[in-house]
Amino acid sequence: MPWPDHLFLVGCGNMAGQMLARWLACGLDPARVTVLRPSGRAVADGVAVVTGYPDALPAGTTVLLGMKPYQVAEVATALAPLCDADTRIISILAGTTLAELRARFVGIRDIVRAMPNLPVGIGEGVIALHADAPTAGEARSAVEALMTPLGLAEWIPDEALFNQVTALSGCGPAFLFRFIDALARAGEAIGIPADQAARMALATVQGSAAMAARADADPATLADHVASPGGMTRQGLNVLDADDRLLELLIDTLTAARDRGEAMARGE
């Protein structure tokens, strides 16, 4: 794995922390990593943690912007003077466009937006990537290689779709966690002991997702294969499918998430 010469993380919260943990588990030398964390709290054995900006960044540094999006102006003011033309920036800041990043990091050629989701920590995530014309092909390949241990890396050619993609894959794990919880609670409601319903709901979703990932058929077809005419599954699907109620609920859910991303991009 061609790891960056040096990785400088600005912030190491939930998402950036999951990414770093996976990279370290896959062989990234912790001596190549520095984390800027105002609290100074340790991250992992061998990873340097600093509470302020260094005097300079090592040659060949890749910067991962993982702080809160509202901090981008403050961070850029301190960080931009430390960057040179060879510094590579990866931003996981929701709602922060490439145009804004370029305005704040003038002179940096290679800037990539990335939107990972939480399962990156176990190598089962989805990472949406976007870069504009100035970002070199070599940089794109290097960023994609860095993201590959985290899961499925997908390049999004149109940045205007970034909030839509974030609503689907970035926010999606939370929506699925809610579904698993609801499936378990529904099982409890029809008489299954709560602890047993929780275990069975989780295992059912886990097994079904694994099966869908390996199957030649799409999920809609798989659902129909499970449902015998006049059987229990079909009767349940009739409820979910009536007036597209499940589809409409999910469209409303993703739309709300997308709209919030667009509002954040406007500074609201």
Out of 119-128, 129-138, 251-260, which region has the weakest mean confidence (pLDDT)? 129-138
Residues whose CB is less than 8 angstroms from the CB of residue 230 and which lie 6 or more positions away in sequence, other chains included: none
Please state, in angstroms and rounded to a whole number, the distance separating the CA atoms of residues 98 and 32: 26
169-225: pLDDT as tens digits: 999 999 999 999 999 999 999 999 999 999 999 999 999 999 999 999 999 999 999
Residue 68 region by backbone torsions, left for phi larger than 0, else alpha for psi between -120 and 50, else beta: beta
Q: Sorting pLDDT into bands at 50, 70 and 90, what band is 247?
A: very high
pLDDT confidence bin for 134, thresholds 50/70/90: confident
So what's the pLDDT on residue 267? 77
Banded pLDDT at 268 (limits 50, 70, 90): confident
What does 231-264 look like in DSSP terms, one character per residue?
A: SHHHHHHHHHHGGGHHHHHHHHHHHHHHHHHHHH
Give the Cβ contact number of residue 134 at 10 Å: 12
Residue with tokens 């597209």: 244
pLDDT at 133: 84
Q: What is the pLDDT of residue 43?
A: 92
* Whole-number pLDDT of residue 3: 92
Q: Which domains does the chain have, with CATH numbers?
A: 6-162 (3.40.50.720), 172-264 (1.10.3730.10)
Of the chain, the percentage scoring pLDDT greater than 70 comes to 100
Query: What separation in angstroms does the CA of 31 have from each of 5, 34, 41, 143, 259?
Result: 10, 8, 17, 20, 40
pLDDT, tens only, 49-84: 999 999 999 989 999 999 998 899 999 999 999 998
What crossing angle do the helices spanning 245-265 and 232-241 adopt, rounded to 10°?
40
Q: What is the mean pLDDT of residues 140-148?
A: 95
As a whole number, the mean pLDDT across the chain is 94
Please determine, for residue 1, whether its predicted confidence score (pLDDT) is greater than 80: no
pTM of the model: 0.87
